[in-house]
Structure 1
Amino acid sequence: MTKAPFVTMAAATAALGTALGSLALQLRAEGYEQYVESVATFSILMYITATLVVVTWVRDARPRSS
């Protein structure tokens, strides 16, 4: 496969993780502690997803043995 879909997906999910991490910090600063944990967890899940997309890309780029 070409690298464009993998790079785009990894960048988009990493950007979403960054945005959610920033939102979690803003929520904590404004006193919405009850939402911080779930938003921060979702942020971490987005980083994990981006990492798994990169791993999939690397594994897909390997030559196949028949």
Structure 2
Amino acid sequence: MKKAPFVAMSAVTALLGTALGALALQLRANGYEQYVESVATFSVLMYVTAALVVVTWVRDGRPHSN
């Protein structure tokens, strides 16, 4: 497979994780504590998803054996 879809998907997912992390910090600063845990959890989930996309890309690049 080509590299571009994996790189783009990983970058966008990591960017979303960063944006959600910033939102969680802003929510905490504004006193919306009840939402911070959910947003922070989703942020971490986006980082894990980005890492798994990279692992898939690496594994896809290896030669296949039948």
2:23 counterpart residue number: 23
Q: TM-score, normalised by structure 2?
A: 0.99
**Cα-Cα RMSD:** 0.3
In structure 1, stretches of 5+ residues that fail to align are none
- SS across alignment from 2:49: helix
Q: TM-score, normalised by structure 1?
A: 0.99
- SS across alignment from 2:65: coil
Moved over 2 A (4+): none
Q: How far apart, CA to CA, are the structure 2 residues paired with 1:3 and 1:18?
A: 23
In structure 2, stretches of 5+ residues that fail to align are none
Number of aligned pairs?
Answer: 66
Identity %: 80
